Structure 1
Amino acid sequence: MDSDLCIYTSTSVYYCRTGSLGIKEKTLMDGKKIKKLVIALILVILAGLAYLFLLRYSDKQKEAESQKEQEEAAASVVFETDTDEVSSISFSGDDGILTFEKKNDTWICPDDSVFQMNENKIQKLLADISSVSCTRELDARGDLAQFGLEEPANTIQISLSDGTEKDLYIGDKNTSTHELYFQTEEKSDKVYMTKTAFDSDFAGKLQDFAAYTDFPKVKPETMTEFDVDKEEDSYVLIMTGDDQCTVEDEEGESQLANLNLVGMVQDNVSNIIWYQDLEYNCSDYVKYGLDDPQMVLTVKYKDGEEAKEFELSVGDEDENGNYYARLNELPEIHTIRGEYLTDLLKSSAASYWSLTYSFVSIGDLDKLEVTRDGATHVLRKETQTTKGGLESVKWLVDEQEVDEKLFTDFYYACVSVTAQERLESVPEENGDEALKLVYTLTDGSKKEITYYEEDQNFYTVIYEDGTKAAHTNKLYVKTMTEKLDRLLEELK
């Protein structure tokens, strides 16, 4: 029936083709998709296996190469020493033969009872002689001069605890490879080349191998006082820990210090490290200017709850701009980079004076009298308690209530001014008075600040009962007067 239907009925033929045959085609397509997914999955698995194989092969190759390098290195070792058995080492230094001996597990210099060995330095020497590999073996054929070995540049003599003596003869450095020529037997025909830095490690003066005291590492926030003692302009910086610092001059006068400047000096001291170690047991301080230091800095700080301090003496400046220095009167001489000390050496108490002079908390204000162009205006706040127990504040100018924002804008313009620079003395004569502010505080005390014309850029400001002076930028006063004008317009 279906067959006939498909033959004779055009609509059914369409149905057959689009219905029954379409389902078969869809089934075939789904099967192809699954087949493709399976093939793709197999390919991914094969790729992963191939990657793992390559990784393992690469690791084995590296392991084989490393083992080969180790074997080649071992095969090229031409000199070995059991460093645990070494009892002494000697070699040519800048000032003659240097000898170090091991006594009771401590390395000493038999020629200097004060000398203390730098542990890192002796370990470096021992590492150099423990196993010496050559990169190349040469036949000298009696011509040792071409390698600098006719008269070796240095001879390293090694004594072992059993009495055995070993020597290494160091020649010139190859100008192409920068490797050293050396021999294990004097005047033999065998010459070796090595990368071991015998020329720099086994060189220098006795002081280069000495142990030195490190400069104290102190965090800035733990510092409490700097006592800067100089021939002139001595001062003391006191860090109270409450975001305030004071500076005291030679006469004992104390003033608030500029926190930014104090912070810079704290950071400088905290970052100091010895630039050079020059002497471990100095007997002549004159040549360093340390017999009469140009500055003695005493740093006081807290280590937990314990109060500690150290003293740094600073002498002359060397040809490179560094300063000779001595810690806690130890006989050691060092240099310190000039950048860490210049601010302390060149400054006075006045250098640290705070540039803030105008701040008065509005909470402490009883009234502010403002005088300009001969007219004085009185600003004050009036606090009243309502029947409900709440407080209300009125802002008054010449006893007239004004807008709070206009009042506070002017007030904070007045108390936010900082100086451009402090003056070491109060000028005897000033220009015309531009603005005068007299603050009366709730405790009855007063603070008077007066601005005088100086030049086109600055006003001279006199404050603290006329005892201190500074220069301040005219823009500050311009802002104050503009806000005052807006405030006074409210009164019209």
Structure 2
Amino acid sequence: MKNKTVKMVLAVVVLGVCCGAYAGVKTYVAHQEQKESEEDSEESTTVFTASTDNIKSLDFMVDDTETTFEKDDDSWVKKDETDFPVNQTTLDSAASAIASVDSDRVLEDVDDLSEYGLDSPSNTIKIVTKSDEEDGDDITTTLYVGDENSSTSQYYVRKDDDEKTVYLIDSSCVEPFTKSLNDYAQMEDFPAISNTDTITKISVHGDNSYELSKDEDTSTWSVKGSEDEEKADSATVSSLVSSFGSMAYSSLADYKCDDKSKYGLDKPYATITVDYQEEVADDDTQDDTTASGETADEDASSVEENSDDAEQDTESDESVNETTDETSEAEDIDSEEAGDETSENSDSASDDEDSSEEETKMADKQLTILVGNETDDSSRYVMVNDSNEVYTMSTDTLSALTDKSEEDFWDMTVSYVSLNSLGSLKVNYQGSDYKVNVSRETST
């Protein structure tokens, strides 16, 4: 019994010593790791640096295809497709992101690039910059992008022909080069209707077809579907009409569509047509002003010719100086008056021209939206008016139009009667008549 107790005590002591040693080792290792981390953070290696103004082109993989964007004067263009609508802000941001690349951890003497995904890089970024020397050749720097370190949100990269050195760089330097091609294109703004009060008709043709039209005299709406035209609920229509002032695209799907069937736009899911009016310059007024201006110029020329004739008559007839002088003075006075009159006409024409530039008129416009197939992100493809660009638009926005039927717009109001004017109410229920009389009494 005594021996068992001694063994038990020894075992407890040994266990305590082991636990203490483990805790000490763990603390030491953590301290060393923290120290190394602090040392690494204090030191930073420059992988690449350049002025954004000196960057001439960026070549990288887009949708598994090598794509080059280059500078043409101060604008970015797609090298093999100059009509591609490059988003200048997106490319400027990409150039700024790659203009200064630093690494806080450098791995040297690397034997196996596959450990970092650099045996088959996910992207290759070629940066062409102008030489600092006036007649020097352009400089090309290539960065090969490998795997992402999920714990640090950094990427492994190598540079140029150096296959022995791997850098760990921030993801912000790489992510601008991981987009699809359409993300580098400039989207057009949806042609939203600024003044929705000018909308007079909305037509929707599809699985559910209907037409809303506005009576311009009474400003009331009616709805027509497969059946007769009915009065529409003003609140429901007003909500729908106002939505055209805030419609917007979600993303660009195709900047130059040559096959509508890819998006279901050859046989649209729905076709939405909106008739409205827009304020435009009144060209007719400007033409009238120009004509009156020409008339004023002709009058001024006529006055000058009369004045010249008067001077010639004065020089040719010396024998009647007094008469000629009087005639000349009279003609001069007439000329001055005519000149003043012409000046006033000219000023008046100028004022008319200025005012005509400010005059506008309301012109009839039409907005047509073709709605195609659904996408993977709760959107549908749309094509607007005569544009050959295809965009996506939220299904929530479109369903307010496409998922309605004529019954949804019916005015369900039977009658409005003020209680103060109600004298009696007669109801026929299941063949029996019931009458309710209203009596009132005034109390002070």
- Residues 233-287 of structure 1, C-alpha deviation per residue, up to 9 Å, x if partnerless? 5433245689944124257954432122213323444443223321111111112
CA distance in 1, matches of 2:91, 2:399: 36
Shift in Å, 1:349: 3.0
Aligned to 2:438: 486
Report if aligned partners of 2:223, 2:229 keep a CA contact under 8 Å in 1: yes
Shift in Å, 1:90: 0.8
Q: Pairwise CA RMSD of aligned residues?
A: 3.6
Shift in Å, 1:187: 2.8
Structure (1/2) with the larger helix percentage:
2
Q: Give the TM-score, by structure 1 length.
A: 0.55
In the alignment, which of 345, 359, 363 is matched to residue 402 of structure 2? Answer: 345
- Give 1:84's aligned amino acid: D
Closer, same or farther: CA 207–318 of 1 in aligned 2, 3 Å: closer
In the alignment, which of 68, 76, 100 is matched to residue 131 of structure 1? Answer: 100
In the alignment, which of 197, 207, 211 is matched to residue 172 of structure 2? Answer: 197
- Give 2:156's aligned amino acid: Y
- Give 2:60's aligned amino acid: F
Q: Provide the secondary structure at the position in 2 that maps to 1:171.
A: strand
In the alignment, which of 27, 50, 61 is matched to residue 92 of structure 1? Answer: 61
Q: Provide the secondary structure at the position in 2 that maps to 1:116.
A: coil
Equivalenced residues, count: 313
In the alignment, which of 395, 399, 408 is matched to residue 421 of structure 2? Answer: 408
In the alignment, which of 233, 238, 245 is matched to residue 258 of structure 1? Answer: 233
Aligned to 1:325: 382
The more displaced of 221-230 and 291-300 is 221-230
CA distance in 1, matches of 2:159, 2:64: 25
Report if aligned partners of 2:57, 2:127 keep a CA contact under 8 Å in 1: yes
- Residues 370-404 of structure 1, C-alpha deviation per residue, up to 9 Å, x if partnerless? xxxxxxxxxxxxxxxxxxxxxxxxxxxxxxxxxxx
Alignment of 1:24-63 (within 5 A): none
In the alignment, which of 83, 100, 122 is matched to residue 114 of structure 1? Answer: 83
Closer, same or farther: CA 261–73 of 1 in aligned 2, 3 Å: farther
- Give 1:155's aligned amino acid: T
- Residues 426-463 of structure 1, C-alpha deviation per residue, up to 9 Å, x if partnerless? xxxxxxxx74xxxxxxxxxxxxxxx7769xxxxxxxxx
- Residues 8-27 of structure 1, C-alpha deviation per residue, up to 9 Å, x if partnerless? xxxxxxxxxxxxxxxxxxxx
Q: Provide the secondary structure at the position in 2 that maps to 1:341.
A: helix
Closer, same or farther: CA 139–452 of 1 in aligned 2, 3 Å: farther
Report if aligned partners of 1:244, 1:256 keep a CA contact under 8 Å in 2: no
CA distance in 2, matches of 1:74, 1:122: 30
Report if aligned partners of 1:223, 1:299 keep a CA contact under 8 Å in 2: no
Report if aligned partners of 1:169, 1:186 keep a CA contact under 8 Å in 2: no
Shift in Å, 1:117: 0.2
Report if aligned partners of 1:224, 1:240 keep a CA contact under 8 Å in 2: no
CA distance in 2, matches of 1:73, 1:284: 56
Alignment of 1:117-266 (within 5 A): 117-162=86-131, 163-218=138-193, 221-222=196-197, 224-231=199-206, 234-238=209-213, 244-249=219-224, 254-266=229-241
Report if aligned partners of 1:222, 1:303 keep a CA contact under 8 Å in 2: no
Q: Provide the secondary structure at the position in 2 that maps to 1:340.
A: helix
Q: Provide the secondary structure at the position in 1 that maps to 2:438.
A: helix
Aligned to 1:105: 74
Q: Give the TM-score, by structure 2 length.
A: 0.61
Aligned to 2:322: none
Shift in Å, 1:488: 11
5+ long unaligned stretches in structure 1: 1-71, 363-404, 415-433, 436-450, 455-477
- Residues 147-183 of structure 1, C-alpha deviation per residue, up to 9 Å, x if partnerless? 2223322110112345221222211111211211122
Q: Provide the secondary structure at the position in 2 that maps to 1:347.
A: coil
The percentage of aligned residue pairs carrying the same residue is: 27
5+ long unaligned stretches in structure 2: 1-40, 132-137, 280-360
